[in-house]
Amino acid sequence: MSITRLYDERINNAMVNILSNKGFDRQWINGINVMSELEKLLNELVIKYTETSEERQKVFHLVQIWGGITGRNIYVKTNGGFRWEQVDEFYKPFVNVCLSIKGHSDADFEKAYRGAVDFNNNVKYIGYSFITKHLRFWGYKNLGEWTFPPYDSVMAEKYMKKKYYRHADIIPYWKRIYTESIEKGLSVSEYERKLFNHYHKVKKVKN
């Protein structure tokens, strides 16, 4: 099944510029011109992952770029500057949790959520919206298009009808997305993308 493209296919060049002195090699995205190509690259990287720090670093930076300009905080706010070794101390076990999940039972949801909480508690300025984006890609290795969908503020407000973004709503969000995906005969990734595009288009029109 082919996932619908994002409503805005542009790669955020401001993020690329910010990362260029943070351990990010611009050669990593040579030939990558739109978000769908970046998604494909990330999926290929996690499928081929051989558990090296270099691979994790590449995926980390690319997911941050994929997530957009709000992903800059971990690079520009961290005291003493961004240090990959410090992040990877906690990113590696988070990745291991992601790769250990092979289904979407309540226990799987809880395991993924606890992995996200642990990572957030140990790494400043990453945030749950971006952590769920990382989970989405690392989960692809075993779950494919049934990987955990990202949970951002727009989905919290428009889809979950929440006044504020709370990480406590992540599991209820996942459960609703999975249930409705099955009912509609779509993969989780395809259903989430349709919702995401719809709500962001509506937001753009209102603005």
Domain boundaries defined on the chain: 13-206
Angle between helices 35-47 and 128-138 in degrees, nearest 10: 60
Between the two ends of the chain, the Cα-to-Cα distance in Å is 33
pLDDT at 205: 47
**Residue that the structure tokens 């919702």 belong to:** 195
Tell me what pLDDT residue 22 has.
Answer: 87
Q: Give the pLDDT confidence of 169-202 residue by residue, as tens digits.
A: 999 999 999 999 999 999 999 999 999 999 977 5
In total, the chain counts a number of residues equal to 207
Nearest residue to 151 (alpha-carbon basis) of 137, 169, 164, 163: 169
- The DSSP 8-state label assigned to residue 163 in this structure reads S
3-state class of 108 per DSSP? helix
- Looking at residue 207, its pLDDT comes to 45
Q: Is the pLDDT of residue 117 over 90?
A: yes
Q: What pLDDT shows up at residue 138?
A: 98
pLDDT at 80: 79
Q: Answer for the pair 70, 126: CB distance below 8 angstroms, yes or no.
A: no
pTM above 0.85, yes or no: yes
Q: Distance of alpha carbon 159 from its chain centroid, rounded?
A: 18
Q: How far apart are CA 59 and CA 67, in angstroms?
A: 12
- pLDDT value at position 204? 52
In the predicted structure, residue 97 carries a pLDDT above the cut 80 = yes
- Alpha carbons 111 and 100: distance in angstroms, whole number: 9
